Structure formats: structure tokens, C-alpha cells
């Protein structure tokens, strides 16, 4: 079990999600539990609550999981996925309001230093234009 | 009103078939101001609901609605999944097999609050809420011809989203350019309300394509009916004055 906060990348496109995950891995290696998903349940552009729940499971850390999303539906579906988690996990997963690629890389870098979930989220969200 | 297994099945089938039959229309609307996937997303979700119709209608009404919601959440694949999913799941929380109009209105109001929270949205932002809240208003009033009035309110409210400017969702990226198009979520909400009323009234559907045409004819009739009534009221006022 990892001692670092996990990162999940959710994009409408599987290619974007996978590419972002590769960038994160290159930055922080395997020190941070990582999950990603992209595409709707039929494999088209979109997001799937089921796939997001699986990605959260993959990136699970007792210290929590930070999700980075691209466009609207990814955020709504991620929030829905969090609500459908077992109660013991629900409070330890957050969606970051940050650009998906830059946010994921920054969040993972912060997570790799052993930071708390709140600190990881804050670091990602510092990138958000006001 | 008692929602027994037969009624539950008719409800599921009517709503699902109507949404599936209108998928292309929804996609066209979404292509104008969104990302063009509302029709295919809703079709995928309601095809899954339709495929589970026997199992879902076998559950008591609350669990049945919850099951519809969960299926939509899992299968739709766009923001409309959690939004419609939340609507049905919230309705399932408070409705039992025996439903009065007051209970339905109360449950619907609570469900709309849940949808508002899920979408971080409110009335006036060119969304499904702009159809569902006027419908709630009519449901609360009750009275004669309730079914027809619910349908007319839904259809008119969807039309009323045309001049609105989108503030939530992908359409908000367009800003001013979202004006002049009907919101696809408002349209799908109107479709669902109409289908629910038809199913409740035991409306026998023979040909879905026919119905799409009929709907627009019905709308025209409703508008004409309103114009006639307005004229009658005016005539009476003029007479009273004289």
C-alpha cells in the first residue's frame, strides 16, 4: 500500500488520459498510485462513471485520491462516481479544479513528496486562472 | 394512483422508446450548441434501461426508479447521465407504489433540488431545469386536464430556452452564440415529461414516428387554443366595459 496520495486522470479521450498518465509517470515514476480513463461506455469520446470508479480503485491510497478532469461531463461524472463509492472511501476523494495535463503533473509531483490530499489539491488548483 | 408492475413496465417502455426514437433530433440540437453527443448518450442509457425493463418493473416503485437512475449514471457517458440519474434516484427515495399528486409534487421538488446540486445550476441558465421547474409548478397546482397541461408546460418551456443564453455546460463556451437554439437537455426533459404523462394516461402508442409528428401538431393546437381563449377573455372584458 502506497503512503502517497493517488492521482486519477479523467478525460473525454482515452488518448489524452493515457498520454497524461505517461507524462506523470515520467515525472514521478511509480511512487504515486495512478489511475486513468477516457471515453464513454461504447469507446467514443466521453466519460464513464463505471470506468472512473475503476480508476479510483486502481489509484487507491489510504491517504486519498485526487482526480483531474478535462471538460464538464468529466467533472459531473467524477462527482457521481465519488458518491457511489463505499462510504469509507467517499470522503477521501476530491476533484481538482485545474487543467488536466498541468494539474495532473503538479498534483503528482506534490503527492510524490508525501503531501496530504488537501495540499495536493491546492497545488493543482494554483494553476487555475482566476 | 397505484403504480403496479404493469404500470411500471409501461412507464419504462414508453419513456425509453420515446427517448430512443428522438435521439437524432437531440443530437442535432446538441450539435448546434454542445458537443453533439446528447442523442447518442441518451439512446445508450435508455436502451440499457429498456433491456432491463422486466427486471426493473418487477421491483417496487421506489427501487425501480432508483434502478433506472443507476443504469443511466452507468451507461449514458456524458453529464446527462449523472443529471438524469440523480433525478430518478432522488425520485426513488421518496416514492412508493401508491402515489398521490401531492406526494409526486413533493418528490419531484426534492429531485429537482438534487439535480440543481449535481449540475451546480439553477433556473434561467438554459438547461433541463428550465423545463422541469415549470412542470413542477403545474404539478403543484393540480386541477383539471392535468396531463395535457403538464405536457403543454413542458413543450412551451423547452421552446422558451431558445432565446436564453447558456451559463452551464458546454453550450456556455459559446456565450452569446448559444442564443437562438433550443437547449438539448430542455428538449429531452420535455420529451420525458410527455412520455410519462402518456404512459400514465394509458396512451396506446402504435407508431413512434407518427407521434413525433403528432407532438408538433398537438403543440400547434395548444397554442391555437390559448389564442382563442385569450381572445374570448378580451371579448368578454370589452363587453363588460360596454
pLDDT digits (tens, 9 = 90+) for B48-106: 999 999 999 999 999 999 999 999 999 998 889 999 999 999 999 999 999 999 999 99
Are A71 and B37 a contacting pair at CB < 8 A?
no
Task: Please report, for chain A, the start and end positions of each structural domain, with discontinuous segments joined by +.
Answer: 6-125
Give Cα separations from B171 to B4, B26, B32, B98 (angstroms).
Answer: 40, 14, 9, 39
Domain B5-205 of CATH type 1.25.40.340: yes
pLDDT of B175 reads 81
**CA B178: distance to chain centroid?**
21
How many angstroms separate the CA atoms of B140 and B193, rounded? 15
Say what the ipTM of the complex is.
0.77
Q: Which pTM value belongs to this model?
A: 0.81
Answer whether A66's CB lies under 8 Å from A5's CB: yes
Q: How sure is the predictor about B207, in pLDDT bands with cuts at 50, 70 and 90?
A: very low
Are A46 and B119 a contacting pair at CB < 8 A?
no
pLDDT of A130 reads 53
Angle at B176 between CA B174 and CA B179, to 5 degrees: 95
The percentage of residues in chain B with a pLDDT greater than 70, rounded to a whole number, is 86
Statement: residue B27 has pLDDT above 80: yes
Q: Which residues contact B43 (CB under 8 A, 6 or more apart)?
A: B19, B20, B23
At which residue does the C-alpha cell 426534492 appear? B110
Answer whether B188's CB lies under 8 Å from B26's CB: yes
CATH architecture of A6-125: 3-Layer(aba) Sandwich (3.40)
Query: Which chain B residue is nearest to residue A79, measuring alpha carbons?
Result: B118
Chain B hits for A49, CB-CB cut-off 8 Å, are 73-74, 81-82
Are A79 and B169 a contacting pair at CB < 8 A?
no
How many angstroms separate the CA atoms of B39 and B32, rounded? 13
Q: Tell me the torsion sign for CA atoms B4, B93, B120, A81.
A: negative
Statement: residue A14 has pLDDT above 50: yes
In angstroms, the separation between the Cα of residue B39 and the nearest Cα of chain A is 13
At which residue does the C-alpha cell 487507491 appear? A60
Torsion of CA B216, B179, B15, B101, to 10 degrees: -90
Cell digits of residue B75:
451507461
pLDDT tens digits, residue range A69-104?
Answer: 998 889 999 999 999 999 999 999 999 999 999 999
Are A71 and B82 a contacting pair at CB < 8 A?
no
By Cβ distance, the residue of A47, A71, A72 closest to B77 is: A47
Give Cα separations from A112 to A5, A25, A56 (angstroms).
Answer: 8, 11, 17
pLDDT tens digits, residue range B133-181?
Answer: 999 999 999 999 999 999 999 999 999 999 999 988 777 888 888 899 9
Mean pLDDT over A44-60 rounds to 95
Query: Which chain A residue is nearest to residue B75, measuring alpha carbons?
Result: A41
3-state secondary structure B178-204: HCCCCCHHHHHHHHHHHHHHHHHCCCC
Which of B70, B79, B120 is best to mutate for the A interface (most A CBs within 10 A)? B79
In angstroms, the separation between the Cα of residue A2 and the nearest Cα of chain B is 29
How many angstroms separate the CA atoms of B136 and B149, rounded? 11
Which of A41, A54, A75 is best to mutate for the B interface (most B CBs within 10 A)? A41
Query: Which chain B residue is nearest to residue A39, measuring alpha carbons?
Result: B77
Amino acid at each position: 500500500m502506497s503512503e502517497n496520495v493517488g492521482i486519477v486522470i479523467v478525460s473525454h479521450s482515452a488518448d489524452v488520459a493515457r498520454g497524461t498518465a505517461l507524462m506523470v509517470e515520467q515525472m514521478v515514476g511509480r511512487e504515486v498510485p495512478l489511475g486513468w480513463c477516457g471515453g464513454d461506455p461504447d469507446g467514443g469520446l466521453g466519460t464513464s462513471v463505471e470506468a472512473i470508479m475503476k480508476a479510483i480503485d486502481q489509484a487507491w491510497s489510504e491517504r486519498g485520491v485526487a482526480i483531474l478532469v478535462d471538460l464538464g461531463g468529466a467533472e459531473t461524472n467524477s462527482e457521481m462516481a465519488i458518491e457511489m463509492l463505499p462510504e469509507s472511501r467517499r470522503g477521501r476523494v476530491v476533484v481538482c479544479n485545474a487543467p488536466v495535463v498541468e494539474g495532473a503533473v503538479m498534483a503528482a509531483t506534490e503527492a510524490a513528496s508525501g503531501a496530504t490530499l488537501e495540499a495536493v489539491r491546492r497545488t493543482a488548483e494554483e494553476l487555475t486562472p482566476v | 394512483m397505484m403504480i403496479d408492475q404493469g404500470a411500471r413496465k409501461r412507464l419504462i417502455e414508453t419513456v425509453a422508446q420515446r427517448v430512443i426514437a428522438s435521439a437524432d433530433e437531440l443530437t442535432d440540437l446538441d450539435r448546434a450548441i454542445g458537443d453533439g453527443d446528447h442523442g447518442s448518450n441518451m439512446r445508450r442509457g435508455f436502451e440499457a434501461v429498456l433491456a432491463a425493463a422486466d427486471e426493473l418493473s418487477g421491483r417496487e416503485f421506489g427501487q425501480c426508479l432508483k434502478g433506472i437512475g443507476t443504469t443511466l449514471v452507468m451507461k449514458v457517458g456524458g453529464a446527462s447521465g449523472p443529471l438524469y440519474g440523480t433525478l430518478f434516484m432522488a425520485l426513488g427515495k421518496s416514492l412508493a407504489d401508491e402515489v398521490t399528486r401531492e406526494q409526486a409534487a413533493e418528490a419531484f421538488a426534492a429531485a429537482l433540488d438534487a439535480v440543481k446540486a449535481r449540475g451546480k445550476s439553477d433556473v434561467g441558465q438554459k438547461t433541463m431545469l428550465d423545463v422541469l421547474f415549470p412542470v413542477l409548478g403545474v404539478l403543484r397546482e393540480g386541477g383539471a386536464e392535468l396531463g395535457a397541461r403538464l405536457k403543454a408546460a413542458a413543450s412551451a418551456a423547452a421552446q422558451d430556452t431558445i432565446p436564453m443564453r447558456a451559463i452551464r455546460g458546454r453550450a456556455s463556451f459559446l456565450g452569446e452564440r448559444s442564443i437562438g437554439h433550443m437547449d438539448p437537455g430542455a428538449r429531452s426533459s420535455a420529451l420525458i415529461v410527455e412520455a410519462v404523462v402518456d404512459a400514465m394516461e394509458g396512451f396506446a402508442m402504435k407508431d413512434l414516428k407518427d407521434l413525433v409528428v403528432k407532438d408538433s401538431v398537438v403543440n400547434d393546437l395548444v397554442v391555437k387554443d390559448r389564442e382563442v381563449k385569450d381572445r374570448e377573455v378580451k371579448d368578454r372584458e370589452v363587453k363588460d366595459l360596454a
